[in-house]
Amino acid sequence: MSAAYAALARGGKYVKPYFYTKVVDREGQVILEKEPEEERVFQEETCYLLTQAMKDVISGGSTNISSSKTELAGKTGTTDNNVHAWFCGYSPDYSLSVWYGYDENLVQTDQGDYSLEIGIFGGDKPGPAGMFEAVMNDLPVKNSTFKKPAGIVEVEIDRASGKLPTELTELDVRGSQKGKEYFSTNNQPREKDDLHKEADVCSSSKLLSQDGCESERGAVLDLSKIRKVAGIEYEGDYGKLEAYKEGAVQTCDGNHSTAPPFSTGSSLSLSTGETREVIVSTQDPLKELYLTGDSVRGSIQGSSATLTGIKKGEAVLTAKTDSQTYTLQITVQ
Ligand SMILES: [Zn+2]
């Protein structure tokens, strides 16, 4: 496993693991020497892009590991029923795989056979990721950064379309959608963003303006051009996609304020098993209030929703009036 990851750290060259470099006799004469054979299995550019992606995996999400001495990249792995947990990763100098589990995970009883859950995930600290981090921080470092091959460029992009940004990219009602990504030079974006369209925006609430708003120039996504988002058919899908859709086209409610109508603010974090009541107070009469996502169970009565976290994940509470749609992002931890 580590040899496979090492090929990524080595710019795409795989070397079959070996156990000695040389054997000498007592006079220092070499009697056996191992010449490692390299075989190119990935392109250098591909390795660099994969490494960038796996640098993101370990920072800021559910896995958070780092070293003050060197760059790290890696990936967690957890099997069904939580029977094995892996963390495999590498620095520019070393590749290391950590496995937690039972090598013979079979418990036989009169009632039948079963396997033991280890109760640990690949990204856990303490756990596989924690052990990886501790060892990597302890090793001497020669090269601290992954070498960028000549065929890689960092390009400024529009996050909505992945194409080159335009003036409208920065005027998006949700805030600037400008970002940076690495590309191989033969695959870098060359066309300009065409998903944004110009719109009048209320200068106070930064939502689409209506009569009575003091307007300024802004941009929204041209939804007629979106068929799929992240592989999901756009029409009729709920949850995150709904929030994305509505979030891009909300109209100022005349109060010129962005304050959400939910008693919890614009987002809500729940622990599994925790119950919270959310009261919705909208300017116009509330027409619909519904919950999407299977991480939260809810009972809704009028303008009050009682929500219970069921399992880790996300859900969305949507409130609609005749003119507005509001969404509350719920995260269950
Ligand atoms: Zn307004």
Q: How far is the CA of 215 from the centre of ligand 1 (A)?
A: 8
For residue 204, report the distance from its CA to the centre of ligand 1, in Å.
6
Q: How far is the CA of 168 from the centre of ligand 1 (A)?
A: 20
For residue 90, the cross-strand partners are: 73, 95
| C-alpha 21 to ligand 1 mean position (Å) | 72
DSSP-derived 3-state class of residue 58: coil
Domain region containing 117: 2-138
Token pair 């036989």 is found at 108
Q: How far is the CA of 284 from the centre of ligand 1 (A)?
A: 15
201 in a structural domain: no
70: nearest Cα among 147, 182, 15, 150: 147
CATH number (domain holding residue 279): 2.60.40.10
Q: Residue 307 has what pLDDT?
A: 95
Residue 104 lies in a domain: yes
Identify the domain boundary among 107, 138, 169. Answer: 138
Report the pLDDT value the prediction gives residue 52, as an integer from 0 to 100.
92
Pairing outcome for strands 95-100 and 85-90:
antiparallel
The tens digit of pLDDT for each residue in 156-167 reads: 999 888 899 999
Gap between the Cα atoms of 293 and 117, Å rounded: 27
Residue 249, in any domain of the structure: no
Decide if 209 is inside a domain. no
Residue 330 lies in a domain: yes
* Structural domains in the chain (count): 2
Alpha helix (H) ranges present in the chain?
A: 2-9, 44-57, 128-138, 167-170, 240-249
Contact 135, 89 (CB under 8 A): no
Give residue 208 CA to ligand 1 midpoint distance, Å: 8
Tens digit of pLDDT for each residue in 32-63? Answer: 999 889 999 999 999 999 999 999 888 877 78
Question: How high is the pLDDT of residue 304?
Answer: 92
- Residues lining ligand 1 (ion), CB within 5 A? 202, 205, 213, 252, 256
pLDDT at 109: 92
Q: What is the pLDDT of residue 81?
A: 76
254, burial (CB in 10 Å: exposed 0-12, middle 13-18, buried 19+): middle
DSSP 8-state symbol, 280: B
Distance 244 CA to ligand 1 centre (A): 21
Residue spans of the chain under pLDDT 50: 236-244, 246-248
Number of H helices, E strands in the chain: 5, 22
| Interatomic CA distance for residues 295 and 300, integer angstroms | 16
**Rounded distance from Cα 146 to ligand 1 centre (Å):** 49
Instruction: Tell me if 21 is assigned to some domain.
Output: yes
- Please check whether residue 69 is in contact with residue 176, taking contact to mean a CB–CB distance below 8 angstroms: no
- Centre of ligand 1 to C-alpha 123, Å, is 45
Question: What separation, in Å, do the N-terminal and C-terminal C-alpha atoms of the chain show?
Answer: 31
How close is the Cα of 261 to the center of ligand 1, in Å? 16
Ligand 1 center from residue 211 Cα (angstroms)? 8
Tokens encoding 48: 């660099």
Query: Which residue, of 138, 157, 184, is where some domain finishes?
Result: 138
Q: Which of 138, 155, 173 is the last residue of a domain?
A: 138
Give the distance (Å) from ligand 1 centre to CA of residue 255.
6
Are 15 and 6 in contact, with CB atoms under 8 Å apart?
Answer: yes
Q: Are strands 325-332 and 267-270 parallel, antiparallel or unpaired?
A: parallel
212 alpha carbon – ligand 1 mean position (Å): 7
Q: What is the CATH number of the domain that holds 13?
A: 3.40.710.10
Residues 6+ apart with CB under 8 A from 104: none
Tokens of 265: 């603010």
> What is the Å distance from ligand 1's center to 319 Cα?
20
Per residue in 98-112, pLDDT tens?
A: 999 888 888 899 999
Instruction: Find where tokens 């589990």 sit.
Output: 101
